[in-house]
A = this chain, B = another copy of it.
Amino acid sequence: MSIEVIDSELTEQRLNQLTQALGSGMFVHVRNMLHDMAASDVALILESSPPKTRQVLWQLIDQEQAGEILEELGEELKDSLISGMTPEKVAQATSGMDTDDLAYILRSLPDAVYKKVLQSMSSQDRHRVEQALSYPEDTAGSIMNTDTVTLRPDVNIDVVLRYLRQRGNLPDTTDTLYVVDKNDHVLGGVRLADLLTCNPSETIRSIMDPELESIPVDMPDNEVAQLFERHDWISAPVVDEQQKLLGRITIDDVVDVIREDAEHSMMGMAGMDDDEDTFGPVMKSTFRRSLWLTINLFAALLAASVSNMFEGTLEQFATIAILMTIVPSMGGVAGNQTLALVIRGIALGHIGQSNSRWLIGKELAIGFLNGIMWSVLVFFAVWLWKDDMALGGLIGGAMLINMTVAGLAGASIPLLLKKLNIDPALAGGMVLTTVTDVIGLFAFLGLATIFLM
C-alpha cells in the first residue's frame, strides 16, 4: 500500500490534459477524470479555466460533489455558477454543507431563488440555516458551526468514552469537547488528546481546562482570526451575551477569513474588488474597475488644475514642465510605504488610541529625514543635468516639503479613515496620492513662480 506524495505540478498537468481532452471533444474521458478528483482539485481547475471551459466542466462534474466544489470556489465564480442552477439543484447540492458555508451561499442568492431553496430543505436544515442567517455578515456568528459536542462536568472519562463509541463519529475539525452546565453555560474544554491520555476513572471536571476562552457571537471575524493566530487555536466555543454556548468556530473557516482579509487589503490598495474572478468575463471586469478609474480621473484633473494655476510659469520655462512630475512621484512612493505599514498595523491590531500619535510622529520624522536626503540628491542631479543650480535648489526644496507631508499624510490618512469607518485599505491609496500630487505640484510650481518669475 503506497501513499500519495503531493506533486505541485499535478494541477498544471491535469489542466493541460483536461484542456486537450475538451478540445478534441472527449467529454466522457473528461467526465471520468473529473469524477476521480477531490472536490478541492475540481474547484482549483474551475478557478483556473476561462468562462466557456468552465461551463462545459461544470456540466460534467459529479453532481454528488457539487456542494463541496461550490464551497471551495471564489465568490464571483460561485455566484455565477449558482445563478445558472434551478433552486431544487441548489438545495440538493447544498444539503450536506456546514451551516456557515450554506448561510454564506444563501446570502448571495436572489430573493426568489433563496425562498425556493429554503422550501426544498428539510425542516431541520431550514431551522439551522435560518438561525445562521440571523447573525450579521463578518461576525463570529456568521462563521460559526452549530455541531458542537458537549459534556457534563461530573461524569467520568470512561462514561464519555462509551458515549463517544456509541455516537460513532465526531464533527470535522473537533479537537476539543465543551463542558457545559445544565443551562448550556460553558465551564471549560476537554481536548481529545486528554481523553485519550488520562486515566479513565477521572472526572471530566478534573481534566478540563477551566480557562478556555469563549468568543462573543458578535465579535468581528477579523478579531476572531487575530485570536486564533495569537493563541494557535484549532477551534473555539462561541457564546451569547448570557455566556450560553451557541456553536464553535474552526480553524479552516478562520484561515478563509485571514486569506480574504489579506486579499482585501492587497487588492483594495490597487483599487480592485477582492471578489473579482481572475478568469472572469471581460465586460464584467471592465465595469467593475471603472469606479476606481473614475475617481482617479478626478484626482488627475485636480492635479492638472493645480498645474493650470501656474500656466504663466510653465509658458516661460519648459524645463519646469519637464521636471514637474519628479516631486509628486517621490512623495507618492514615500507616502505609500507609510500607508502600507499603517494599514498592516491596523489589521494586526497593533495600532490604537495610545500609540497612534507616537506613530504619526515617527512617520513624520522619517518623511523629514527622507526629504533631506532626497532633496540633496535631486538638487545635485538636476544641477548637473540642467546646469542650473537655482533650479536644483527649487526642486530640492519642493521635495523636502512633499516628502515630509507624505510621511504625515501616509500615517494620518488611514487612521482618520478608520475613525470615519471608511476602509483605509480601499480609500487610503487614492486619497494619499491625491494629497502628494497636489502638494508636490503646488510646492514645485509655487517655488518656481516665486523665485523665477
Copies of this chain present in the complex amount to: 2
* CB-CB contacts below 8 Å: A212-269 with B: 212-216, 219-220, 223, 227-232, 234, 239, 243, 251-252, 254-256, 258-259, 262-263, 265-267, 269
Partner of A234, one of B5, B167, B251, B373: B251
Q: Are B292 and A333 in contact (CB under 8 A)?
A: yes
* CB-CB contacts below 8 Å: A286-333 with B: 286, 289-290, 292-293, 296-297, 299-301, 303-304, 307-308, 311-312, 314-315, 318-326, 328-330, 333
Q: Are A286 and B352 in contact (CB under 8 A)?
A: no
**A16 at the B interface (CB under 8 A):** yes
The docked-state distance in angstroms from the alpha carbon of A19 to that of B355 is 10
Partner of A232, one of B2, B167, B172, B374: B172
The docked-state distance in angstroms from the alpha carbon of A286 to that of B173 is 45
Q: Are A252 and B266 in contact (CB under 8 A)?
A: no
Chain B nearest CB: distance from A228 CB in Å? Answer: 7
**A11 at the B interface (CB under 8 A):** yes
Chain B nearest CB: distance from A54 CB in Å? Answer: 11
Q: Are B308 and A322 in contact (CB under 8 A)?
A: yes
Contact with B along A170-192 (1 / 0, CB 8 A): 10111100000000011110001
The docked-state distance in angstroms from the alpha carbon of A381 to that of B359 is 41
Cβ-closest chain B residue relative to A265: B266
Q: Are B279 and A213 in contact (CB under 8 A)?
A: no
**A193 at the B interface (CB under 8 A):** yes
Q: Are B188 and A169 in contact (CB under 8 A)?
A: no
A72-B230, A173-B234, A210-B1 known; A278 and B350 CB under 8 Å?
Answer: yes
* CB-CB contacts below 8 Å: A318-377 with B: 318-326, 328-330, 333-334, 336-337, 339-345, 348-355, 358-359, 362, 365-366, 369-370, 373-374, 377
Residues of B within 8 Å of A161, CB to CB, are 196
The docked-state distance in angstroms from the alpha carbon of A350 to that of B279 is 9
Chain B nearest CB: distance from A71 CB in Å? Answer: 10
**A147 at the B interface (CB under 8 A):** no
**A156 at the B interface (CB under 8 A):** no
- Identify the stretch in A42-50, A89-97, A102-110 within 8 Å (CB) of chain B at 4 or more residues: A42-50
**A8 at the B interface (CB under 8 A):** yes
Q: Are A278 and B344 in contact (CB under 8 A)?
A: yes
The docked-state distance in angstroms from the alpha carbon of A41 to that of B349 is 11
Residues of B within 8 Å of A381, CB to CB, are 297, 301
A sample of 16 inter-chain contacts (CB < 8 A) reads: A2-B243, A3-B211, A5-B243, A165-B199, A169-B197, A262-B263, A267-B344, A271-B336, A271-B337, A296-B329, A301-B381, A304-B323, A307-B321, A307-B322, A325-B325, A325-B328
